[in-house]
Structure 1
Amino acid sequence: MNVSKFTFLLLFIKSIYSQELQTKSIEELELEYEDEKNSMIAITETEDIIYDDFYDEVDNRIKIDNSMDMIFFGPPSSFLRIDPETILHILINTKKNLIPISRALLAWDIITDGKTAAFLQGREFLAFETLLNVVPEEDLYYVNFGDPSVLKYFSKHYVDLKKRKIGILAAAYRRYYGNSWYMSGSEINELGYLLCGFPSNDLERISPVTFRKLTFDVLSKINRCDVKQKKTLYDIATHPDAYGEPYTWSSHEVGRLNTLFTCIPKQYISSIRLEAITAISPNVMKQMKQDKLEYFTKEQVLKMNMKTRRIYILRIQLKNSLDTSQIAKKGFEKIKPNIIIYFMIYLLLITIDV
């Protein structure tokens, strides 16, 4: 019993002693209060300075209530505060023609972190899209086509890039995969739109046998190639080991060649089989040169599918309506009767005067 009382007494004394240790004097409490007060004032003043600096640097002509103007036309120092993920989100959801070149280059530096494009994936290129036209060429040369997302983006998506930029991307592809791309039909099929980035002297290296392995998908994407590149591919297509001369084509070959059909010489058009004419798509008819349209025979026109024939007729009518010789002829026919009438009136007046 005495032991328990003694233990209780010790615990009571210990608790009182600990409370005395935790108790602070009034002077100490005042110092802590002043420290906290000063720290709060310092934080508030710092935030005000940042806020004021941001708007002091802004051009007075910019409407502050328009956040996009603040981002793209505000001070560069403010743009640099935006994190890369937010910049990607802004670029994806903004029309590219509204973004100044200076901001596009600044965004590129932020996304690449001052490095080349070797570390970027498909989503970064998707965000920039046509803004890649202003990106330094030496950066695009190091695009990592080993990343499947990068290869898929540039091969499957039509990006309105300058011809030189497409050529640099093709050089980047060749830097990664080597110079044997033209030997494999499956590898050419993976190129998609990138195929038009290779010059004509490289496209000539595609063998006719390999050309036959090209799918409709890749051949439908060569509309971005220039005339010389299309002519090179057409010459390969008409090789005996590929699809042969146009008069031997069936609807399968015409449909497969797609845009390359526009390269056919006009003297060969009338020799195409009627069965093959049905495979000419409306898009191909739109791209045909105007002077080639008149070489289609009446039977061939009747064999065209409805949409293709309608485009053909409209283009022929447009050509006739814009033909200067026809306009002059019609104008003369309208003027000629009036001249005769005026001449007869003039003769009548002369006789009356006499």
Structure 2
Amino acid sequence: MRSETFQGKSAVHMPFLEYMHKGHCRLKVTKDYMQTAVNAFAIFVSGDLIDVKNLPASYVLNSARTIAMMKVEREKLAATWYVVKGSTPTVNVTYETLEKFRPLFKHVNAREIARLNLSDDRILSYIGTHPDLNRHQVGVVASRYIQLNPRWTEPRYLNLMNNLLCGVPMIFMRRIPENTYLQLTHQIFYHIRACDPLQRRFYLTMMMRTQALGKSYSWSAREVSRLGLLLAEVSGSDLSAVNPEAMSGITSQVMLEMPIQSLLSITEMQLRYLDTKCLNILARKLISYQEHLESSSFKGYPIWPPRYSIILVVCVVHGVVYYNQF
């Protein structure tokens, strides 16, 4: 389909459904990029899997981000992987191709991901740092990598695995020497999004061993920052024992994940060292928590206030944060 021209101005339109025959649709990529995009959208919406698999691989790669935003059947989004891969064996798919395909990579089958060239450090790190993979996917890949690399327990390889650690059975991780956890890189616990709370608590326990970071009262800002998403599992009593200066190591990404039950234990002195974004996130969480309490109380449910409850009022003026704690 070509774009229409009216009074010298170009317009785009959806192809007529009566002219679209499932299994026989082909996308013609032209210089009219907008109409090409509309035609591709029509194929995803009104076509079938055969039509999707017949899309040009280069177009899918270049439009991966746009395609990922479409609300269509998951099977069609998963089929784009086979469009991009084509006749190339999975193990030969390059890192550059994967990087372009990143927005759609979460729809790739777990076994297909495990067939990638895991010996390439870039591909292994790419999989381990992808934020949208689920636990099943990382579990299958981690199992495959453990088979391929008998030395996977060395810090060098653990630092490449990142989120794949969520797919490693905890019984294997218990066999790793405690001082190995101290050699893990700064960013590794920011990528463990596929871990369930039990796994996060396990890694937190290992990091709080004497040969690793020790107890919370001995943490510095750098060590707090290293814990990443593990801070979401720190108890209220441990959080309140953290050195106030060390609270500057908490990032906004981590603050979003921390439960309100532990945040209620933050002391006034600790608040002084949180940055503006963290304070704003904390304020929103406290307001939401207060509204929840009022709603539950109104419905007649008993409310037991926490021992260390805080109400934070935040005001930002010219980039300076003013707050009061009650």
Question: TM-score by structure 1 length?
Answer: 0.64
Letter in 1 for 2:134: K
**Count, aligned residues:** 273
> Could you report, residue by residue, the CA deviation over 1:30-63 in whole angstroms, capped at 9, with x for unpaired residues?
xxxxxxxxxxxxxxxxxxxxxxxxx683499xxx
State the SS of the aligned residue for 1:323.
helix
Distance in 2, matches of 1:282 and 1:90, equals: 30
Aligned partners of 1:255 and 1:281 also within 8 Å: yes
Distance in 2, matches of 1:212 and 1:278, equals: 21
Q: Which residue of 2 aligns with 1:68?
A: 40
> Could you report, residue by residue, the CA deviation over 1:88-107 in whole angstroms, capped at 9, with x for unpaired residues?
44546523545544545554
Distance in 2, matches of 1:141 and 1:326, equals: 47
Aligned partners of 1:121 and 1:147 also within 8 Å: no
The structure with the largest alpha-carbon Rg is: 1
Q: Which residue of 2 aligns with 1:141?
A: 114
Distance in 1, matches of 2:52 and 2:288, equals: 52
Cα distance, 1:300–1:68 mapped onto 2, change above 3 Å: same
Distance in 2, matches of 1:128 and 1:137, equals: 16
Alignment map for 1:300-339 (pairs within 5 Å) = 300-324=270-294, 327-328=297-298
Answering whether residue 260 of structure 2 is matched by residue 287 of structure 1, we say no
Answering whether residue 90 of structure 2 is matched by residue 117 of structure 1, we say yes
Distance in 1, matches of 2:295 and 2:227, equals: 36
Letter in 1 for 2:152: W
Which of the residues 238, 245, 254 maps onto 1:268? 238
Aligned partners of 1:277 and 1:303 also within 8 Å: yes
Q: Which residue of 1 aligns with 2:67?
A: 94
Aligned partners of 1:143 and 1:172 also within 8 Å: no
Structure with higher strand content: 2
Q: Which residue of 2 aligns with 1:185?
A: 155
Mark the runs of 5 or more structure 2 residues left unpaired by the alignment: 1-18, 29-34, 300-326
Aligned partners of 1:117 and 1:139 also within 8 Å: yes
State the SS of the aligned residue for 2:147.
helix
Structure with higher helix content: 1
Which of the residues 167, 170, 173 maps onto 1:200? 170
> Could you report, residue by residue, the CA deviation over 1:244-273 in whole angstroms, capped at 9, with x for unpaired residues?
111222222212222222222222233222
Q: Which residue of 2 aligns with 1:29?
A: none
Tell me how far 1:237 sits from its aligned partner.
Answer: 0.7
> Could you report, residue by residue, the CA deviation over 1:291-324 in whole angstroms, capped at 9, with x for unpaired residues?
2222222232334334333433332233223213
Alignment map for 1:41-56 (pairs within 5 Å) = none
Identity across the alignment (%): 22
Distance in 1, matches of 2:230 and 2:121, equals: 29
Aligned partners of 2:134 and 2:194 also within 8 Å: no
Answering whether residue 186 of structure 2 is matched by residue 222 of structure 1, we say no
Answering whether residue 124 of structure 2 is matched by residue 151 of structure 1, we say yes
Q: Which residue of 1 aligns with 2:147?
A: 175
Letter in 2 for 1:251: A
Distance in 2, matches of 1:132 and 1:147, equals: 17
Tell me how far 1:149 sits from its aligned partner.
Answer: 4.1
Q: Which residue of 2 aligns with 1:232?
A: 202
Aligned partners of 1:262 and 1:284 also within 8 Å: yes
Q: Which residue of 2 aligns with 1:209?
A: 179
> Could you report, residue by residue, the CA deviation over 1:106-135 in whole angstroms, capped at 9, with x for unpaired residues?
544455456752222224434554655554
Q: Which residue of 2 aligns with 1:48?
A: none
Cα distance, 1:283–1:86 mapped onto 2, change above 3 Å: closer
State the SS of the aligned residue for 2:176.
coil
Q: Which moved more, 1:200-209 or 1:84-93?
A: 84-93
Cα distance, 1:189–1:70 mapped onto 2, change above 3 Å: same
Tell me how far 1:242 sits from its aligned partner.
Answer: 0.6
Letter in 2 for 1:67: N
Mark the runs of 5 or more structure 1 residues left unpaired by the alignment: 1-54, 330-354
Tell me how far 1:168 sits from its aligned partner.
Answer: 1.3
Q: Which moved more, 1:221-230 or 1:148-157?
A: 148-157
Which of the residues 256, 260, 263 maps onto 2:226? 256
Aligned partners of 1:116 and 1:140 also within 8 Å: no
Distance in 1, matches of 2:293 and 2:169, equals: 37
Aligned partners of 1:207 and 1:236 also within 8 Å: no
Q: Which residue of 1 aligns with 2:21?
A: 57
Question: TM-score by structure 2 length?
Answer: 0.68
